[in-house]
Amino acid sequence: MATRSSSAGFARHSWRWGRRLLTGVLSLALTLLGLLLFTFMLSHLAPIDPTLQIAGDHASEATYAQVRHDLGLDQPLPVQFWRYLVHLAHGDMGISRITSQPVLSDLLRTFPATVELATCAIILGALGGITLAFLAVLKPGSWLDNAARLLSLIGYSVPIFWLSLLGLLLFYATLHWSAGPGRLDDIYLYSMEPRSGFVLIDSWLSGDREMFYNAISHLWLPVVALALLSMAGITRLLRAAMLEECNKEYVTLARSKGASRVRILLRHVFPNVLGTLITVLSLSYASLLEGAVLTETVFAWPGVGRYLTTALFAADTPAILGATLLIGTCFVVLNALADALTYLVDPRTR
């Protein structure tokens, strides 16, 4: 009987996980399909004619019609969208009208730069945000708490492009502490062998320590700018979640037993807000991956954000759709991973 009960329980558990996985995959597919459809319609409302960009302003009507036919723009919009989906199912994202290269190749070239920037920023922002939140909750109402709230308010309020420009003016143009825009100086840029696409890894593997230090000198300023943005959100939300937990009865019971506030925060409060922290970190990381457009533009960082901005100004529909699909996939996948991790670490969500 015990064996039958355990088998039935395992079957129910497997069915529950399978249904949850299937629902997540279907939700992911529908979300990305809706995102593609919305972006496709918006790209065709742009006042820029891609046919004129290729054929030129002085092209004849026959040349204009031929180019428009080659691009498939003479077909109805539903037919164009369906053809794009068919090509996408075969791994073909189209050809960029700006670079004349496959969009997939362009994304494989630019995405590692964005991942490197966002990953370093979220690590720094998480360390700073968690530390500030702990200090703020350790002594609510103290100068530490007020300082954490002020820093989070500044991080939310200051525009990222203004902060980036100010950082360049101060640390690059005035103090010369930063190497400035780009990922490497020109002397190293064309001598480094691209292996992983991450400049820190590739410069380290090259064996040239000067190149590695030059990469760090280029990287740290945009990382700090983005880290301040993510740190503000992490500090504010984690502080609010921990203060809410501190008002519950189990914390009062722990205090009555003589437990120190540090022990209560580390042993009791923090495990209960771990699910919130995972969600905040995933959303912050996804926002950095999709929202580093202005930072990449200011620092001439050759990432997906800058690539997407250039494509938008040129009405490069294949590049716009490809970059949007990539960023949307990252956002949805990170949310799904956060939900799964929260489900594992927090029994209250099961």
Cβ–Cβ < 8 Å for 97, 316? yes
CA-to-CA separations, 226 to 76, 127, 235, in angstroms, rounded:
42, 13, 14
Residue 102 pairs in a beta bridge with: 95
The pLDDT confidence band at residue 126, using thresholds 50, 70 and 90, is very high
Q: Which residues contact 121 (CB under 8 A, 6 or more apart)?
A: 222, 223, 226, 227, 229, 230, 288
pLDDT in tens, 173-191: 888 898 888 888 888 888 8
Q: What is the pLDDT of residue 118?
A: 92
Token pair recorded at residue 319: 């590049």
pLDDT in tens, 226-243: 999 889 889 989 998 898
Q: What is the pLDDT of residue 220?
A: 93
Burial class (CB in 10 A: 0-12, 13-18, 19+), 56: exposed
The mean pLDDT of the chain is: 83
Phi, psi at 268, each rounded to 5°: -120, -50
Taking alpha carbons only, the member of 304, 241, 312 closest to residue 271 is 241
Written as one letter, the residue type at 304 is V
Arithmetic mean of pLDDT, 57-82: 79
The pLDDT confidence band at residue 217, using thresholds 50, 70 and 90, is very high
Rg (CA), the chain: 25
Distance, in Å, from the CA atom of 222 to the CA atom of 346, rounded to the nearest integer, reads 34
- DSSP assignment of 241-266: HHHHHHTSHHHHHHHHTT--HHHHII
Asked if the model's pLDDT at residue 295 lies above 60, the reply is: yes
Length of the chain: 350
- The dihedral sign for the CA sequence 47, 82, 55, 321: positive
Taking alpha carbons only, the member of 281, 45, 19, 239 closest to residue 145 is 239
Cβ–Cβ < 8 Å for 130, 152? no
Q: Which residues contact 45 (CB under 8 A, 6 or more apart)?
A: none
| Helix boundaries (H) for the chain | 2-43, 50-55, 61-71, 77-89, 103-138, 143-157, 160-167, 186-189, 199-205, 209-246, 249-256, 261-264, 270-272, 274-291, 293-298, 304-313, 317-345
Token pair recorded at residue 166: 């100010």
Taking alpha carbons only, the member of 286, 285, 278, 287 closest to residue 338 is 278
Which is higher by pLDDT, 201 or 5? 201
Which percentage of the chain shows pLDDT scores above 90?
16
